[in-house]
Chain A
């Protein structure tokens, strides 16, 4: 219960997407349906955890002058592995993600985590930080994709299960397209801000 509460405060106040404004590109590119968002967040988790662990393993051997190039090569190698693996194992999803996966090399979240955290901390802490970041990015992608899929088709496709709530054509297809991506992220970050303001108000009252 304590872990859950501390995760909730981490998610509200140190959220990598809505507070630090990192990693907006996959949030907009890959959330048109729940299915793609799930696979995309799996890819992000693999890239973040592996690159943080590998960089923090070798941080004492690498000379200070070439750390940036080293981190770029590590991240892009892992992204290549993920890219080829997705193409071999999930060809159906690869068609939708083939543009979004290579962009993980220059993803601001991966870059900032690797540079600011993994280059200064030991392996275990880097691993835990990678897991925490990927869980929060997973939740964020899921919220946005569920919102967008529900308001564009009126139904939800979760793996093999198809939940139809409203008849097809009830909503316009607006949120499934790229214009709707901006609207959806704007509305959800607005709601997150309201929740955060309420929470910080409660904390202030308790302190007083």
Chain B
């Protein structure tokens, strides 16, 4: 994969195949207060670390352990266990060993623990069957797209909270309408 290919691939994954807006992974996190007042780089590093580790390990296990033994049908159980193990291990080990990871993880873990981001990305990448270098690029760029969308959304919703909108539209309805407009903007760039 050449450099220009990688750039085009990254732009495609951030804008047109954004994992929130086209695959609907991790939409629940948009309706919590957990992402407010969090620095962008810290959220990006935490998300990218978790997603990349999880997808690479799932990919290696699927290719080297499940496919040769004819056990592809177990992939749901195995991937779910891998994502839970990785979250718990990161929580324990980052507290103990790495101050850098601990600082960045503490902002991201509450967002990611209970949602489909990790598990869904590993299912998605196994279905698309990327080679390993493209897989790592996809995971890093997809988590950048996720954090970017979350950041844009958080700025818009902060203004919406101060505006005078009618009572029934507060909360979930206006959040979905904003997401739809962001999605429309991103998909409009593809034409």
Q: What is the interface size of chain B, counting residues whose CB is below 8 A from a CB of the partner?
A: 41
Check if B177 sits within 8 Å of A193, measured CB to CB. no
Please name all residues of chain A whose beta carbon is closer than 8 Å to the beta carbon of B177 when the two chains form the complex: 182-183, 186
Stretch from A2-10, A65-73, A131-139, A153-161 that touches the partner? A65-73
Cα A196 to Cα B22 in complex, Å, equals 30
8 Å CB contact of B27 from A24, A79, A84? A24
Asked if A171 is at the interface (CB within 8 A of a chain B CB), the reply is no
Asked if A58 is at the interface (CB within 8 A of a chain B CB), the reply is no
Stretch from B35-43, B115-123, B134-142 that touches the partner? B115-123
Q: From A111, which residue of chain B is reached at the shortest CB distance? A: B114
8 Å CB contact of A178 from B24, B124, B174, B175? B24
Q: How far is the CB of A172 from the nearest CB of chain B, in Å?
A: 12
Check if B73 sits within 8 Å of A193, measured CB to CB. no
Check if A193 sits within 8 Å of B184, measured CB to CB. no
Within residues 83 to 111 of chain A, which ones have a CB less than 8 A from any CB in chain B?
83-84, 98-99, 102-103, 105-108, 111
Dominant secondary structure at the B interface:
helix
Q: A25-B27, A72-B80, A84-B73 are in contact. Are A105 and B119 (CB under 8 A)?
A: yes
Asked if B48 is at the interface (CB within 8 A of a chain A CB), the reply is no
Cα A79 to Cα B114 in complex, Å, equals 17
Check if B176 sits within 8 Å of A25, measured CB to CB. no
Q: A84-B73, A185-B176 are in contact. Are A106 and B116 (CB under 8 A)?
A: yes
Asked if A194 is at the interface (CB within 8 A of a chain B CB), the reply is yes
Asked if A181 is at the interface (CB within 8 A of a chain B CB), the reply is yes
Please name all residues of chain A whose beta carbon is closer than 8 Å to the beta carbon of B83 when the two chains form the complex: 106
Please name all residues of chain B whose beta carbon is closer than 8 Å to the beta carbon of A185 when the two chains form the complex: 176
**Among A98, A99, A103, A106, residue most surrounded by chain B Cβ atoms (within 10 Å):** A106
Number of A-B residue pairs, CB cutoff 8 Å, is 112
Asked if B131 is at the interface (CB within 8 A of a chain A CB), the reply is no
Q: How far is the CB of A96 from the nearest CB of chain B, in Å?
A: 14
Check if B25 sits within 8 Å of A25, measured CB to CB. yes
Check if B77 sits within 8 Å of A182, measured CB to CB. no
Cα A80 to Cα B71 in complex, Å, equals 12
Check if B28 sits within 8 Å of A108, measured CB to CB. yes
Check if B73 sits within 8 Å of A80, measured CB to CB. yes
Q: A178-B24, A183-B177 are in contact. Are A193 and B116 (CB under 8 A)?
A: no
Asked if A120 is at the interface (CB within 8 A of a chain B CB), the reply is no
8 Å CB contact of A189 from B76, B120, B176, B187? B176
8 Å CB contact of A186 from B25, B28, B77, B173? B173
Asked if B168 is at the interface (CB within 8 A of a chain A CB), the reply is yes
A44-69 vs B, Cβ < 8 Å mask (1 yes, 0 no): 00000000000000000000000011
Please name all residues of chain B whose beta carbon is closer than 8 Å to the beta carbon of A69 when the two chains form the complex: 81, 84
Asked if A163 is at the interface (CB within 8 A of a chain B CB), the reply is no
Q: A98-B127, A189-B173 are in contact. List 8 more A-B contacts (CB 8 A).
A: A25-B24, A72-B84, A76-B77, A108-B115, A178-B22, A178-B24, A190-B169, A190-B173
List the 6 shortest-distance A-B pairs measured between CB atoms, nearest first: A186-B176, A182-B180, A193-B168, A190-B173, A28-B24, A186-B177
Q: Could you give 19 example pairs across A and B, Cβ below 8 Å?
A: A21-B28, A25-B116, A72-B80, A77-B77, A98-B127, A99-B23, A102-B79, A103-B123, A106-B83, A106-B115, A108-B114, A181-B24, A183-B177, A186-B172, A186-B174, A186-B176, A193-B168, A193-B171, A193-B173
- Which A positions have Cβ atoms within 8 angstroms of B? 18, 21-22, 24-25, 28-29, 68-69, 72-73, 75-77, 79-80, 83-84, 98-99, 102-103, 105-108, 111, 178-183, 185-187, 189-190, 193-194, 196-197
